[in-house]
Structure 1
Amino acid sequence: MTHDEYRSESTLVGTERQQLEAFVHDNRLEILGLLDGLTEEQARRRLVPSLTTPLGIVKHAVFVEKVWFHVSLAGRSRAEVGIPDAAEDSWVLADGDTVESVRAEYRRTWAEADEIAAAFALDDLAEHNRRGPLTLRWIYAHLIEELARHAGHGDILREQILAS
């Protein structure tokens, strides 16, 4: 199986962890796919009042992964992992953000997240979250929900961008 293959269909009878990780992986691919075939201008195009753009969604996904794995699970600070304190700031695109640079950062971040998570069992607690302790299982379930929601937003934006 390659890094870019969908995994949920191959884990129909897998363990709970295999299934959760497969759905996380598949949603990560959906987030990356938002940028497929878009120009730099299209990836940055704002069609809604918020900062939500295809490139912004992928950049926000970097933030989300770092919050849950690098900060909440591994106990590193937001400053240490290079993310803003406020979630709304994670949508802000810098001049140097490109389709390829943000894609590469997301792939690096999710590889690091997988490495961090590998050291924990599903019932192990993430002790460094503002909500208080929560399990790795909860993080996976939440990440599936959040990535799927943002992928849906991105699908609508892509459809509008490519139709114009």
Structure 2
Amino acid sequence: MAEGSALDQRTGEERQLLLAFLDEHRRLLRETVLELSDEEARRRLVPSLTTPMGLLKHAAFVETAWFPCRFGGRTRAEAGIPETVDESFQLEPGDTLAGLASNQQRAISQADDVISGLSLDDRCTHPVMGELSLRWVLTHCIRELAQHAGHAQILVEQIVAQRD
């Protein structure tokens, strides 16, 4: 936990705490990946599509898919995101860390705009899981971003170790 962060408020209201944890994991993922060069961040160290840069790209997808799309009513095509999760990790030749970090920030801003108009009990519909409350989705996104921040930390550690 970063000193002076919103997470220092350990007795806040439920919404405040959920949003603080969400923001913390958004930041951790971005800052971890931005330790690398563009070339390093494209490296695949595992058989899946997971790369540091891909994790950052996927994080923006998650923000957009859940909030402007599921809760805001936009289609994925309207929001400019891929139809499948796997596609959200795929890198384009022109992708850069700076560009993807900016895209993530923009996706966070749009997600936060949607979230600000909702209560924790408001619901969206997922085609497989059915009705889900904002409370559930925020908790899910916190878990997912925490996992991806951990993935990024391990990948970055491996890449940095190979610099020498």
Equivalent position amino acid for 1:155 in 2:
Q
Taking the TM superposition and a 5 Å limit, the aligned residue runs for 1:9-158 are 9=8, 11-127=9-125, 129-130=126-127, 131-158=129-156
Q: Deviation per CA, 1:2-52, whole angstroms, max 9, x where unpaired?
A: xxx73212x211100000000000000011012233111101111111111
* Cα deviations by residue, 1:137-163 (Å, 9 ceiling, x for unpaired): 011000000000011111100000000
The residue identity in structure 2 corresponding to 1:132 is: G
When the two structures are superposed, what TM-score results if normalisation uses the length of structure 2? 0.93
| AA in 2 matched with 1:27 | H
Q: Which amino acid aligns with 1:6?
A: S
Counterpart-to-counterpart distance in 2, 1:83 and 1:67:
8
**What is the CA–CA distance in structure 2 between the aligned matches of 1:146 and 1:109, rounded to whole Å?**
16
Q: Under a length normalisation based on structure 1, what TM-score does the superposition of the two structures give? A: 0.93
Alignment root-mean-square deviation, CA: 1.1
Distance in 2, matches of 1:6 and 1:142, equals: 21
| Aligned sequence identity (%) | 44
1:70 deviates by: 1.1
Alignment gaps of 5+ in structure 1: none
Whether the 8 Å CA contact 1:6–1:25 is kept in 2: the answer is no
Aligned residues: 158
Whether the 8 Å contact between 1:54 and 1:157 is mirrored in structure 2 is yes
The one-letter amino acid of 1:114's match is D
